[in-house]
Structure 1
Amino acid sequence: MEKKVYELLNDQINKEFYSAYLYLSFADYYEEEGLSGFANWYEIQAQEERDHALILRNYLHENGCKVKLGAIAQPDLEFTSHLGPLEAALEHEKYITSTINDIYDAAMEAKDWRTMKFLDWFISEQQEEEDNADTMVTRMKLFGSDAKALYDLDQENAARVYVVPSPLANA
């Protein structure tokens, strides 16, 4: 594997673990606000991000590459509204999409077809992640100021269940 592609993939592992930390901090915020359904949503998001890191880790190992884990930064965002974490999540997912795209660009430049194929799953996943984050922002803006509607949104988020991502389920 070309050095730049390897380094970007290895760095992405850290970014995915940071995403898990970030989403756990969102879950904590919502739990402390009495919105355990939103907390559930972000606990599952954190699991998914951890899974993304493991998928990347497995891929590097499958290609004979050494994994180098870095320190994970502490999330430092503070919120004053229920909308805050949702907007931060959308912004963060757009950032993660850009980093996946950067890896894809490096793989294309290196003619690393295997890595490009591997990244196809992440590209589709990021489209779903951004769409979910955008939907949550929109719903909070539309309904979050109404206590009954906020309760309904919270109950909807409480019903979310964790599903193992296909690359791990097939591993």
Structure 2
Amino acid sequence: MLKKTMQQAMNDQINAEMYSSYLYLSMEAYFQSISLNGFAAWMRAQVQEELMHAMKFYDFVHERGGQVTLESIAKPDTTWSSPLNAFEAVLKHEQHVTSLINDLVDLAISEKDHASNIFLQWFVTEQVEEEASVGEVVEKLRLIQDNPSGLFMLDAEMGKRTFSVTPGTPGE
């Protein structure tokens, strides 16, 4: 049985993951509006990934006999001054999500909720990958600076990303 404090924290995380999806959908719209369809495709994959994360938490709360309570999702930003500015915002956001996951792990440990702690370890690893992936894009954009050719080459590379569910992830 999920304790009320952990149930509330997981419900908050569902909302955070849904917000992440909403933010990245807004970024997809931004990239489409400036004709960087590869960046838009990258964001679309990220939207799907964040929705999957929310559903993992959703399913876990139910599996533990808890109650899911959905709250309003905050309105995301809709414009950025450049692709670099957008991806710097992504990196900052992913670092925030990492702190939320770490807080959940700390709560699970303090509550001696071993099942939640085990469940959350997948997200700890996932956040390391998220930050590294986004950090790499930020560094490439910094290298490119104002070079349109480099931006178009990176856009083509970004468009190759697709979303796929990894077998064996929690909540499947």
Alignment of 1:121 with 2:127, yes or no, is: no
Who is 2:62 aligned against? 61
The unaligned stretches of length 5 or more in structure 2 are none
- Verify the 8 A CA contact 1:51 1:168 in the aligned structure 2: no
User: Taking every aligned residue pair, what percent have the same amino acid on both sides?
Assistant: 40
The unaligned stretches of length 5 or more in structure 1 are none
After TM superposition, give the deviation of residue 2 of structure 1 in Å.
Answer: 2.0
Counterpart CA distance in 2 for 1:25 and 1:136 is 18
Give the paired residue count: 171
- Verify the 8 A CA contact 1:94 1:130 in the aligned structure 2: yes
Who is 1:162 aligned against? 163
How big is each residue's C-alpha offset from its partner over 1:36-64, in whole Å with a ceiling of 9 and x where there is no partner? Answer: 00000011101100000000000011111
CA RMSD of aligned residues (A): 1.4
Counterpart CA distance in 2 for 1:23 and 1:124 is 20
Matches within 5 A, 1:96-135: 96-135=97-136
Amino acid at match of 1:42: M
Structure 1 stretches of at least 4 aligned residues deviating more than 2 Å after TM superposition: 165-171
Who is 2:25 aligned against? 24
Amino acid at match of 2:142: K
**Alignment TM-score, normalising by the size of structure 2:** 0.95
Counterpart CA distance in 1 for 2:124 and 2:25 is 23
Alignment of 1:150 with 2:154, yes or no, is: no
Who is 1:51 aligned against? 52
Amino acid at match of 1:4: T
Who is 2:8 aligned against? 7
Counterpart CA distance in 1 for 2:101 and 2:78 is 23
